[in-house]
Copies of this chain bind each other. A is one copy, B any other.
Amino acid sequence: MEKVEIAFYPGVERDGFRTHVFIKNAKGREGKVQAVILAAGLGTRLGLEEKAYPKGLLKVAGRELLLRHLILLSREGVEKFVLVVNPRNRKYFEEFLARYPEYRVILVENSHPERGNGYSLWCARLAVSGPFVLTMSDHLFEEAFVKRAVRGQGLILDRQGFYVDPVEATRVKVSEGRVVEIGKGLEPYDGFDTGFFVLAPEIFKAAERLVEIRQEISLSEIVQAARIPVTEVSGLFWTDVDTPEDLKQARKLLIRASVKGAGDGLISRTLNRRLSTRISPYLCGRITPNQATILSFLLGLLSAALAYFHTAFGGLLYQIHSVLDGVDGEIARAALMKSRFGGLLDSVLDRYVDFIFLSFLLLKLKPGGLLLAAGLLALLGTVMVSYTTERFKGAYGKDAYGIFPVLHYFPGKRDERIFLIFLFCLSGRPELLFPVLALLTHLKVLFTLTVFWRKRSELEEAQG
């Protein structure tokens, strides 16, 4: 009847592909070791149909949408991917896959893409056995979403649709934990279809019944017919890319979503992040996170030198540096390029910038006696605020601000300190800065140590 061609990509033997299902994977985790990604759509709305260039290969934050799927699902233990393409876009995917031989991908060709994405799923059946993750190549998910979604079952439902256009998004009606109806205009509805599913192979039985009686079948029809269960993953960023505007918007939202939970201080939350998340989308994909770190460092050094000659301008540039200092982390998370070394480098260079800026400010004042003592204390406190929480992370392996939100109540984080320094630079009385900063930072260290001390028994036990 229908023709299904299967191509085998690196590491997959023809006979072997049916055996790798829902077993412990190489990393020793129990997980869904296979994923089906539908990429046979015709991409009409993006103006790509002439060349049949697939939406899944469009780049957001410097990475193809498909590559994001491969990276994020691999991190969750998926070891085998089944990619359903159409005859016209197949060559693009083959080129793409040749560049990433580290992923085991089985290419399945759907010769009748006009029969809909339900039919694409049907085409994947021969390459799949056991439970599997199903998602769409033109969808974009933030890392935290994928992490939670793969642990769910059935349709992954977003009840809040925080990042979603409620008119465009596909709505889902749920009853007794199962899908009842799916559709765009649906009223009333319980949430949105995220395009991410965790399915049992029984789904193909439901698909078969529809394939036999109908020409065009959508995935929604299959899912609805199978009354699959629903798992809620709300409040996290996901989107599908249909238009060029979607693509731009996705990049911005991805950056914005990457900021959550970063443990920012007050000035970061109210000022710096609002600016940096507007800048990052333009840099993302153009420079690497480590390059952003170095650029921000150089700008910080420049601001210090400038402060020696013109305090107010130096202070202003220092505050600008503080805004740009958020960019490296934002593009690293958005582009899935976060690295431990990058974080370490950023921290170390931040300490250098802070110390050097304050040193130049102090040197300019030609300090002696009390002012010098206050200056030295301010320098010490500035480093120690960071040292104390970093040392905590080293000792307990956990983020101090994450465990003890109470630490936020006492100001003195980097963004807050820099803003304070900036204000003193503008004020024309920079010498007053040092005693204030000395007091603030050492009290913050004391406060932090006190919190650690009070909770030391709980912490020790939690570590076993």
Contact = CB atoms under 8 A, between A and B. Distances in A.
A209 interface: no
A363 B464 CA distance: 46
A300 to B, nearest CB: 14
Interface in A442-463: 445, 449, 452-453, 456, 459-460, 463
A336 to B, nearest CB: 13
Interface of A: 27, 339-341, 343-345, 347-348, 351-352, 355-356, 359, 362-363, 366-368, 372-373, 376-377, 379-380, 383-384, 386-388, 390-397, 445, 449, 452-453, 456, 459-460, 463-464
A47 to B, nearest CB: 39
Nearest to A341: B456
Contacts of A359: 373, 376-377, 380
A376 B373 contact: no
A273 B27 CA distance: 42
A356 to B, nearest CB: 8
Given A341-B460, A367-B372, 7 more contacts: A27-B464, A339-B456, A340-B396, A341-B452, A344-B392, A379-B380, A387-B387
Contact of A344 (B348, B363, B377, B395): B395
Nearest to A362: B376
Nearest to A28: B464
A138 to B, nearest CB: 29
Report copies per complex: 2
Contacts of A395: 340-341, 343-344, 393
A459 B396 contact: no
- Of A344, A352, A463, most buried by chain B (CB within 10 Å of CB) is A344
Contacts of A340: 395-396, 456, 459-460, 463
Contacts of A348: 384, 387-388, 391, 445, 449
A391 B390 contact: yes
Nearest to A373: B363
A372 B358 CA distance: 13
9 contacts: A340-B456, A340-B459, A341-B459, A348-B384, A348-B387, A366-B368, A391-B394, A393-B393, A393-B394
A453 B391 CA distance: 21
Contacts of A453: 341, 345
Given A452-B341, A459-B341, A380 B394 contact: no
Contacts of A390: 387, 390-391, 394
Contacts of A368: 366, 368
A401 to B, nearest CB: 13
Contacts of A343: 395
Contacts of A456: 339-341
A344 B449 CA distance: 9
A445 B459 CA distance: 31
A170 B244 CA distance: 82
A97 to B, nearest CB: 22
Contact of A397 (B27, B355, B356, B397): B397
A390 B343 CA distance: 13
Report the 9 A-B pairs with minimum CB-CB distance, sorted nearest first. A393-B394, A341-B456, A340-B395, A394-B394, A359-B376, A355-B380, A344-B395, A383-B383, A390-B394
